[in-house]
Chains A and B, each alone.
Chain A
Amino acid sequence: KQEVTQIPAALSVPEGENLVLNCSFTDSAIYNLQWFRQDPGKGLTSLLLIQSSQREQTSGRLNASLDKSSGRSTLYIAASQPGDSATYLCAVGTGANNLFFGTGTRLTVIP
């Protein structure tokens, strides 16, 4: 069964710093990988979706990469802001309706 791990569980950085969040998965036979943001008590907001044939996706200050062979994805956040503080989750799609979620990295950006 696919296992998705996000390390670290929590991260604090000063405002303005560039940072990388990690997501690893055990089975490289994936269809896609999606990064989400979750604010406390709220639903998940989709940030980026990478299909298995792609290596990376970019949206504004966010860049997500995918390396299927090594079972890794990274989410790069440039010039972090206090408003970026949230929990970031990755989810790996391995079939028509199989989506495996990590437990997330809680990011705090300190003003």
Chain B
Amino acid sequence: DGGITQSPKYLFRKEGQNVTLSCEQNLNHDAMYWYRQDPGQGLRLIYYSQIVNDFQKGDIAEGYSVSREKKESFPLTVTSAQKNPTAFYLCASRRIQGTSNTGELFFGEGSRLTVL
């Protein structure tokens, strides 16, 4: 079955450590996204990528980094520079339709990061 796989589901980190969250999709989607979800707030965009080897900052990119070496993969690194990293992280993807990119957005199951 096609879908988006995120790992790990739960992750604990000590302050000062970098961690990398994995996101893999087999939907053949061009565009991939990382969102952060905090209680009582809407999802906020961290980074997105529309093509291999290219990515753009979203609204809250500070303290995060990404790479897009393969179409299927879009890992997110939460660096020690991120001041408040404890959150639920969601990866998403969609097919690019024309220039407006209005395709349906699909999400993975999420990764919960807790900083101790």
A contact set with B: CB distance below 8 Å = 4, 31-32, 34, 36, 41-46, 49, 51, 89, 91, 93, 95-97, 99-104
Contact = CB atoms under 8 A, between A and B. Distances in A.
Nearest to A3: B42
A101 B90 contact: no
Interface range, B side: 20 to 34
17 contacts: A4-B42, A31-B102, A36-B107, A42-B110, A43-B90, A43-B108, A44-B92, A44-B107, A95-B100, A96-B100, A96-B101, A97-B33, A97-B45, A97-B101, A100-B42, A101-B43, A104-B42
B42 A103 contact: yes
Contact of B105 (A4, A42, A91): A91
A13 B53 CA distance: 48
The listed residue with most B CB atoms (<10 A of its CB), out of A34, A46, A49, A99, is A99
Interface of B: 4, 6, 31, 33, 40-43, 45, 48, 50, 56, 90, 92, 99-102, 104-110, 112
Contacts of A101: 42-43
B40 A103 contact: yes
A24 to B, nearest CB: 13
Contact of A31 (B31, B56, B100, B109): B100
A78 to B, nearest CB: 22
Given A96-B99, A103-B41, A41 B112 contact: yes
Contacts of A42: 109-110
A101 B40 CA distance: 12
A99 B34 CA distance: 12
A34 B41 CA distance: 18
Nearest to B111: A43
